[in-house]
Amino acid sequence: MAFKPGQSGNPKGRPRGRPDRRTAWRNELEPKGKALVTKAVEMALSGDAQALRLCLERLTPAYKPQAEPVRFELKGETLTEKADSVLTAIAAGDLDPATGKELIAAIAGLVKVQEVDEIVRRLEALEGERNADP
């Protein structure tokens, strides 16, 4: 069931401009931020494992592996053949699996873009034919 333009899908939802609870809590905690951080550090240093974990998680960002830049020639004419060349390079050890996964995801994204382009082209052709018929 589609809604009319400008009609809310949840007309009895939260009124516009009314802050949610998280905003209110954040505003309440903000002036006490320094004291809270100091207390968390004290607790961590005294052996509180949860406080220690919290402090360390905030102090050091999560590790995100980054692959070295690679030069890689996609072989084949079709996108399927190009994806197959990525898998072949991974199997041969010429390309790491994480980079290969990203390349295949990029190829899949390109496929979706091409599909949309094709649908738009066909739709425009159909509309042109329809408008041309008296």
Range of the domain at 99: 79-132
Residues 83 and 124 in one domain: yes
- pLDDT at position 1: 54
Which residue is listed with tokens 């020639």? 73
Total domains present in the chain: 2
In angstroms, what CA-CA distances link 2 with 13, 14, 110, 127?
A: 18, 21, 29, 23
Residue 4 domain-assigned (yes or no) = no
**Together in a domain, 46 and 85:** no
Cα–Cα distance measured from residue 4 to residue 7, given in angstroms and rounded to the nearest whole number? 5
Query: Could you list the pLDDT tens digit for every one of the 134 residues in the chain?
Result: 566 777 777 777 777 777 788 888 888 999 999 999 999 999 999 999 999 999 998 888 888 777 677 787 888 999 999 999 999 999 998 888 988 999 999 999 999 999 999 999 999 999 988 887 66
Domain presence at residue 7: no
